[in-house]
Amino acid sequence: MSHRLKLISLNVRGLRNRNKRRAIFSYLKVQKAIIFCLQETYSSPEDEKVWSAEWGGNTLFSHGSSHSRGVCILLNPSNVTFRLQSVKQDLDGRFLIAKATMHDKSFFIVNIYAPTDYRDQDNFIRTLSEQLMSNTNTSNVIIAGDWNTTLNPIDKRGGQPWKATNYRNSLVNLMDELNLLDIDRQIHPTTKSFSYESKPLNLKSRIDFFMISRSISSCVKNVEIRASIAPDHKSVFLNIEVKNEFMRGPGLWKFNNTLLEDENYKDLIEFYYPQILTKYPEVVDKQLLWELIKMELRAKTIKYSKQKRSSLRNKEEALQNELRELDHKICNSDTFDQEILEKYEAAKQELKHIHEIRGREAMFRSKMKWFDLGEKPTKFFFNLEKRNYEKKLIREVELENGEIISDPVQVNKEIRNFYQNMYTSKINGNNSTSAYEHNQKIDGFTEGLNIPQLNVEEQESLEKDLILEELKDALASFAYKKSPGEDGFTKEFYQTFFDLIGKDLLNSYNDSFHKGSLSITQKRGSITLIPKGDVNLTPYLLT
């Protein structure tokens, strides 16, 4: 079974504006590609930490200036199949070369932004040719970017009449020497489709395109130019079929705190909660009732979230279709219809608004703030590990004998055995001598310690039932935006609906106190393994 490697190339014409950058990042993530090649980022070394944190995945940069050039390669934050091996970059923000592996297949991903000044173009082609020859095998090369030239007359409309420039001819020669193809034109030899538009010059052209090695052209399933939310460039999509990815489990459900800003959702819970209570009148066990309440709330929340996502996807799809239809009319019309142009811009702005909203929502889902000054690297990767479920997938483990296993069933078994052995008491409960010696050690450790004793009033206070105020105070003491326990509901959810659910939660805890045991889900925890400095993966229990 095969899997597709999806790449996107887009000239963003500057990412220094924070709102624009977030909107662009949101737009890209929705496309569900693995690799994103951006041109004209206007980045500097000082931006790397902040932009990487905002993106949430691996980022590679070749910096230009604060108002020109700059390219970057972004890896999908959820990616687990793509392995970066090495990077080569220039010092002028013109190109970036990454050698990477997906499963057992190696690729060379190249992202370029060609100069517009003819005096710089010859040197650019010469440098690019040298770098490709010395840093790639020239057989599995994928080059994305803005070439700032068209290869054929069909690739341009408006402006000065098309002619084959020296730079264009040098580029064609490079393609011949390295056996590269303009894959869009290879698949669509007669299709008129433009990636760039200059309204002041009344010009449309296809200057953004993928070049790939001829040897992998048969793996390409499709290449397409689509409308984007960038100022004057469209996105170019490339899909390549490769080996199937590693299978994984379903993970755990977690409440999305952005729903707490949705008045419709809050009204739904307020309306639905009394119905839950009337649904189980025969249940007298307070622990069981609370578990049933959470089950109903979780089911209702999941259903609402799916409907909301579906509605947003339908709206986005409708806008994308509208943009494609309008773009087709514009590209194939000899005259400029002002009404069509206005509709195109309106649809584009509406699509941009959707992704601006998603950009804000991503702030909450990522469980980290968008810092202008960034965060310390250790904290960033800690947050990244918690945030990205895909990054938690352990694809292989090395056994004590040096054997490396990758079978998912065996991997899970070995991880379980490892931590079970680590946390199993070495004291044999069936061995009275061993247990006696263990107790003697404990007595020796505590002997002589002045351990405070509770007075009668303090003992009676601790043995009383909990009250709502104590529950509310305990809830207020929890840190914000932390991972929830097994039930998936966050501190923010409990606080928002405390007046509604507090009494039943309190009854459950007091019932547990009298029984001397918590409910099943209250006793469970989710163990996650998180990198901690130079030591092995450290287990954390989320309850």
User: Mapping DSSP to helix (H, G, I), strand (E, B) and coil, where does residue 334 land?
Assistant: coil
- Nearest one of 171, 173, 122 to 145, comparing CA atoms: 171
Element (H, E) at 308: helix 286-331
Q: Is 267 a catalytic residue?
A: no
Long-range contacts: 289-296, Cβ < 8 Å, 24+?
A: 289/504, 289/507, 289/508, 290/504, 290/505, 290/507, 290/508, 290/519, 291/519, 291/520, 291/521, 293/501, 293/504, 294/487, 294/489, 294/521, 296/272
Residue 146 annotated as binding site: yes
Residue 473 annotated as binding site: no
- Quick check: 209 and 147 in contact, CB under 8 A? yes
Cα gap 289→283, rounded to integer Å: 6
Identify the active-site residue in 90, 233, 344, 509: 233
- Quick check: 226 and 237 in contact, CB under 8 A? yes
Name the packing angle between helices 498-515 and 263-279 (round to 10°): 40
Q: Which residues on adjacent β-strands are paired with residue 84?
A: 100
- Quick check: 239 and 221 in contact, CB under 8 A? yes
Cα gap 181→170, rounded to integer Å: 14
Residue 460 annotated as binding site: no
Q: Is 514 a catalytic residue?
A: no
Residue 11 annotated as binding site: yes
Q: Is 334 a catalytic residue?
A: no
Residue 233 annotated as binding site: yes
Identify the active-site residue in 47, 63, 90, 146: 146
Identify the active-site residue in 113, 196, 265, 344: 113
Residue 398 annotated as binding site: no
CB atoms within 10 A of CB 311: 10
Instruction: Catalogue the active-site residues.
Output: 113, 146, 233
Binding residues for Mg(2+): 11, 40, 146, 148, 232-233
Binding residues: 11, 40, 146, 148, 232-233
